[in-house]
Amino acid sequence: MQTPVFANHKARASKLVPVKIIRAVGIGLFMMASWPSCWGQDGTTIGVSLCDLYQRPEQYAGKMIRVRGGSVSSLDIEDSLHDSQPEQCPAYMHIIVVFPDQVKPTPAFTLVRDNSYEKLHKALHYHGPIHIDATYEGRFDAAFVWHDRKRIRLSQDSEKGYGKKHNCDGRIVLRRVSDVWADPLLRK
């Protein structure tokens, strides 16, 4: 008489339990590593103004934001160079936009290299001064904010600052750029 296939299922099931647990833990770790919401971001991008970032940098630090800003021949965002009327803001930050490959550790997202990115790239390599206005989307990092002409550190854990000489108060690690407008400046 042959033993039924399921007669020994309890013994087999007890051997498979550790395998199932290891598999479940592995899947959970993979999801945590690849899903931004596990890092405190829910996967959505928050639309903000530059003044919002200046006034409440702690609220947006580490989150994916979308902001419109202007610059001249660089990725140093200035609200006074923005194509819409800047609002009066009691705080200020010098914010720079950086590419993901310039940040350590490398972020989990990659740069979208579409037509808007190509337009920005072309403007950044223009042979003369050029006004660039764009909507930048990426992770916001903040180290300092200016209030009443004083540079205030946001936390003891924050960076020395961003940029080559650490003179920038915040940065946007770029994931996507859109609505790029570039206009060469006339030389006198």
CB contact at 8 A, 65 and 140: yes
What percentage of the chain carries pLDDT values higher than 90? 48
Residue type at 151? R
> pTM above 0.85?
no
CB contact at 8 A, 154 and 144: yes
Is 180 found in the same domain as 140?
yes
Is 99 found in the same domain as 14?
no
* Residue 47 predicted with pLDDT over 90: yes
Q: Which tens digit of pLDDT belongs to each residue from 8-38?
A: 444 444 444 444 444 444 444 333 333 343 3
Is 123 found in the same domain as 52?
yes
Is 54 found in the same domain as 10?
no
CB contact at 8 A, 57 and 154: yes
Is 76 found in the same domain as 130?
yes
Cα 98 to Cα 25, 81, 131, 147, 172: the distances in Å are: 35, 18, 18, 24, 6
Tokens of 147: 């209030």
Average pLDDT for the chain = 78
Q: Which tens digit of pLDDT belongs to each residue from 115-129?
A: 999 999 999 999 999
User: Cα(139)–Cα(66) distance, rounded to whole angstroms?
Assistant: 9
Q: Which range marks the domain in which residue 178 is found?
A: 46-184
User: Cα(35)–Cα(7) distance, rounded to whole angstroms?
Assistant: 42
Is 170 found in the same domain as 131?
yes
Is the Cα dihedral 108, 114, 118, 120 positive or negative?
A: negative
Closest CA to 151 of 172, 129, 127, 168: 168
Is 69 found in the same domain as 16?
no
Quote the number of domains for the chain.
2
Q: Angle at Cα 134 formed by Cα 35 and Cα 65, nearest 5°?
A: 30
